[in-house]
């Protein structure tokens, strides 16, 4: 059994996330308390019993999703008596999940990760207000076909790009509103099963986020990152990275670049990963992994019951 730990991105938030772990495991409670302290804000109360609209705001959703992921991982480490480098061969995260993966692998402290993600969410929101945009999921077209689609839907002043290659037949595009609208119409002409706008507030993972990337570069410059205990598969390269300085550079590129999730999972499977453990709220990544690498197994840890199942799975 060769294991990779994976960490979800934005969209996996829901009210009640992490509450069961907090109630049952002191190590989880400590995670949520540390994140609250780092942000000078009772994020855990918002997560456990707050308003979904407020939780979905980018600057809240990003640290909340990360906190739940790290709480789940810390519970697994405590209950199994093993650290992540004794359990996993790789870590990887989808978009903001890359920060969770770095924290999980000891490259970033928990408080620094929370602060970085709040800043990242704020910068992305500010960039969205300056350069309005949107995102859409295109289902049923190949990555190559979507590359043609975004090229043909773009004009000199209205551009769209590939934002996430989630799995075969599920590609997310991002860019100016008019270009995304054109792309949705064109996708239907090209035979897409469905194209739907996503409930997000901007054109994330595209050059519309350039200013957010520049601000993140400044934030990361003053944030200590050390060599991870486990290699991380970077969104931008879809390859294992362990160099701390290179990781910082890739985190900046990730703000405007594409999340190469399909290739990331294929890379890990090719390196011998047989089992994926998704740490955090929901099972989005587990679903994608089943489509990308059907010969591997995926389980999720998001509450007490799923943690116990994971411990039994690990033997």
The answer on pLDDT for 268 being more than 90 is yes
The answer on pLDDT for 175 being more than 90 is yes
Residue 143: alpha-carbon gap to chain centroid: 20
User: What pLDDT is recorded for position 200?
Assistant: 84
* Known catalytic membership, residue 95: yes
Superfamily grouping for domain 132-201: Malonyl-CoA ACP transacylase, ACP-binding (3.30.70.250)
In which band, very low, low, confident or very high, does the pLDDT at 64 lie, cut at 50, 70 and 90? very high
Residue 197 dihedral angles phi and psi, to the nearest 5°: -65, 140
Indicate which residue of 115, 176, 205, 298 is catalytic: 205
Asked if 3-128+208-314 and 132-201 have one fold, the answer is no
Q: What is the C-alpha to C-alpha distance for residues 164 and 258, in angstroms, rounded to an integer?
A: 5
Query: Contact, 146 vs 140, CB < 8 A?
Result: no
User: What pLDDT is recorded for position 315?
Assistant: 81
Indicate which residue of 12, 44, 95, 134 is catalytic: 95
**Residues 147-166: pLDDT tens digits?**
999 999 999 999 999 999 99
**Percent of the chain clearing pLDDT 70 (strictly above):** 100
In which band, very low, low, confident or very high, does the pLDDT at 219 lie, cut at 50, 70 and 90? very high
**Residues 85-120: pLDDT tens digits?**
999 999 999 999 999 999 999 999 999 999 999 999
In which band, very low, low, confident or very high, does the pLDDT at 3 lie, cut at 50, 70 and 90? very high
List Cβ<8 Å contacts ≥24 apart for 234-243.
234/98, 235/93, 235/94, 235/95, 235/98, 235/259, 235/260, 235/261, 235/264, 236/260, 238/263, 238/264, 238/266, 238/267, 239/267, 240/90, 240/267, 240/271
| Ranges of each domain in the chain | 3-128+208-314, 132-201
Strand pairing of 240-241 and 134-139?
A: unpaired
* Known catalytic membership, residue 176: no
What is the value of pTM for the model shown?
Answer: 0.96
User: What pLDDT is recorded for position 11?
Assistant: 84
Q: What is the C-alpha to C-alpha distance for residues 192 and 234, in angstroms, rounded to an integer?
A: 29
From residue 162, give the alpha-carbon distance in Å to each of 55, 145, 152, 189, 207. 26, 11, 13, 18, 11
- The correct answer on CATH 1.10.3210.10 for the domain covering 3-128+208-314 is no
Average pLDDT, the chain: 96
Contacts of 269 (CB under 8 A, 6+ apart): 292, 293, 295, 296
């Amino acid at each position: 059994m060769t294991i990779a730990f994976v960490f979800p991105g934005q969209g996996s938030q829901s009210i009640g996330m992490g509450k069961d772990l907090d109630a049952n495991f002191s190590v989880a409670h400590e995670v949520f308390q540390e994140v609250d302290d780092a942000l000078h804000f009772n994020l855990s109360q918002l997560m456990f019993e707050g308003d979904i609209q407020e939780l979905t705001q980018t600057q809240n959703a990003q640290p909340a999703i990360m906190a739940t992921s790290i709480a789940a991982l810390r519970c697994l480490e405590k209950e199994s008596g093993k650290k992540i480098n004794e359990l996993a061969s790789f870590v990887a995260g989808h978009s903001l999940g890359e920060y969770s993966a770095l924290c999980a692998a000891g490259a970033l402290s928990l408080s620094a990760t929370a602060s970085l993600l709040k800043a990242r969410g704020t910068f992305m929101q500010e960039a969205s207000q300056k350069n309005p945009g949107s995102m859409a999921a295109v289902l049923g077209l190949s990555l190559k076909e979507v590359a043609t689609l975004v090229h043909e839907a773009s004009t000199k002043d209205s551009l769209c790009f590939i934002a996430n290659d989630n799995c075969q037949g599920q590609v997310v595009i991002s860019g100016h509103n008019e270009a995304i609208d054109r792309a949705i119409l064109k996708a239907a002409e090209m035979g897409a099963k469905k194209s739907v706008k996503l409930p997000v507030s901007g054109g994330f993972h595209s050059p519309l986020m350039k200013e957010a990337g520049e601000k993140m570069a400044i934030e990361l410059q003053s944030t200590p990152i050390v060599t991870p205990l486990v290699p991380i598969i970077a969104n931008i390269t879809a390859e294992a990275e362990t160099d701390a300085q290179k990781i910082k550079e890739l985190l900046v590129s990730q703000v405007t670049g594409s999340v190469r999730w399909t290739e990331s999972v294929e890379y890990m499977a090719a390196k011998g990963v047989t089992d994926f453990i998704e740490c955090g709220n929901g099972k989005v990544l587990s679903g994608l992994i089943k489509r990308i690498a059907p010969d591997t197994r995926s389980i999720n840890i998001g509450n007490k019951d799923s943690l116990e199942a994971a411990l039994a799975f690990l033997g």
